[in-house]
Amino acid sequence: MKKTVSQYKQELINEIGKIIVGKEEQLSLLIMAVFSGGHVLLDDLPGSGKTTLVKTLALASGLTFRRIQFTPDLLPSDILGMTVFNQKTSDFELRQGPVFTNLLLADEINRAIPRTQSALLEAMEERQVTIDGTSLPLPSPFFVMATQNPVERESTFPLPAAQMDRFFIKMSLGYPTEEEEDLMLLRLGSSIPFDSVCPVLSPDALAEIAGELEQVHVSDAVRAYMVRLVHATRTHGQVETGASPRASRALFSGSRTWAAMAGRDFVTPDDVKAIAVPILNHRILLKSQTRFSGTGPEDVLKELLESVPVSDRR
C-alpha cells in the first residue's frame, strides 16, 4: 500500500527519535524542509546535537552523506573538487569533492572565510557546480545542512545575505529539558548507536513525495495572505531589508508540505503561520537601532503574524 506524506513523516520521526530525544517540533520543521527540497541552517551553541541530528537524518532518509568541517583555511576546491594532471595517462582528471553527495553537512559553516562560503552558492541554487569552466550536476536529491555557531563567538564570519537567502529555514534545537537530558543519558550512555537507525526513505521516495506535494491545493485567499505577510516585512518600520521573492516561494512550498504532513490536501492560514518564522527570520535585516534595542527578527515576525490580516476584506 502506498504511504502518505504524513506516514513518511512519522516514520522519520520514530527513527530519528532513537538518537534525538524530544524536539518533535524541530524535527517536524526539519522534515518539512527535506520534503520541500530545501536547505537548512542550524544555528545553535556547540554541543547541542546539531551534527548528530543531521547524521541521523541522513541514515533514516537512506541518503548518501558527506561532512565537511569548515575552518578558516578551507579552500573552495576542498568542497567542490579540482582537475589534476595524471602523469600516467598524460591527461587531466576530475577529482570530485565532498559536495557530490545527497546530503552535505557543512559543519560550523561560519568558521570559513567568505570566499569559501560562497563556493556553495551555485550548488545550493542550481544543484550543480562549475569546476575549471565545466558545469557538473550534483546527485539528486541534494541538500545542504549547515551548522552555525552564534556570530558573537570568536573566529566566526557572518554568512553573506545571498547565501542566507538560499537556506529554506533557519532553526535551533535549543537546550533539552531536564527530563529530556536525563532520558538522553539513560538511552545513549557514552556512545551514540547510529547503527540502530534504519532507512525509511530513499531518493525515489522523496521524488514521489515531491510529486504528491504538487497536488496540495493553495486557495487564492491563502496565497494572497502569504504575499501580504512577505510584503509586510518590506514596509515594517524596524526592517532595513525585507524578505525576498525567494522567501515567498519557500513559504508557498513549505505550507503545502506542512499541510500534507498533517494529512490534508489543502493549505490553511495556520499552516502558513506555523512555518513563517523559521522560513523568514534569516531573510530580513533589521535597522541598526532596532538591533541595538534587543529586538530580533523573530520578534518582528511574531508581531506581523498578529497584525497582518488573514483576509483582505476590510
Q: Are residues 144 and 258 in the same domain?
A: no
What's the pLDDT tens digit per position in 275-310?
999 999 999 888 888 777 778 889 889 999 999 898
How many separate domains does the chain show? 2
CB of 103 within 8 A of CB of 54?
Answer: yes
Crossing angle of the two packed helices 50-61 and 24-36, in degrees rounded to 10: 50
Residues 252, 226: Cα–Cα separation, whole Å: 7
CA 38 remoteness from chain centre: 6
CA 10 remoteness from chain centre: 19
Residues 154, 2: Cα–Cα separation, whole Å: 50
Give the Cβ contact number of residue 311 at 10 Å: 10
| pLDDT at residue 314 tops 50 | no
Q: Are residues 200 and 143 in the same domain?
A: yes
* Cell reading at 24: 518533535
* Count of CA atoms in the C-beta half-sphere (13 A) of 134: 13
Determine the pLDDT at residue 186: 79
314 within domain boundaries: no
Q: Are residues 175 and 285 in the same domain?
A: no
Lowest mean pLDDT among 37-41, 155-159, 243-247: 155-159
* Secondary structure (3-state) at 21: coil
Cis preceding-peptide flag for 269 (omega within 30 of 0): no
94 within domain boundaries: yes
**Among 115, 130, 120, 124, residue whose Cα is nearest residue 75:** 115
CB of 156 within 8 A of CB of 142?
Answer: no
How, if at all, do strands 128-131 and 134-137 pair? antiparallel
Q: Average pLDDT, stretch 214-221?
A: 94
Q: Are residues 109 and 226 in the same domain?
A: no
What's the pLDDT tens digit per position in 89-131?
767 777 888 999 999 999 888 888 888 888 888 899 999 998 8
Residues 54, 299: Cα–Cα separation, whole Å: 28
236 within domain boundaries: yes
Out of 209, 233, 256, a domain closes at 209
What is the pTM assigned to this prediction? 0.88
Out of 178, 193, 209, a domain closes at 209
| pLDDT at residue 217 tops 90 | yes
Q: How confident is the model at residue 1 (pLDDT cuts 50, 70, 90)?
A: low
- Expressed as residue numbers, the domain containing 42 is 5-209
CB of 223 within 8 A of CB of 256?
Answer: no
Q: Are residues 200 and 251 in the same domain?
A: no
312 within domain boundaries: no
Crossing angle of the two packed helices 203-213 and 24-36, in degrees rounded to 10: 90
Element (H, E) at 286: strand 285-286
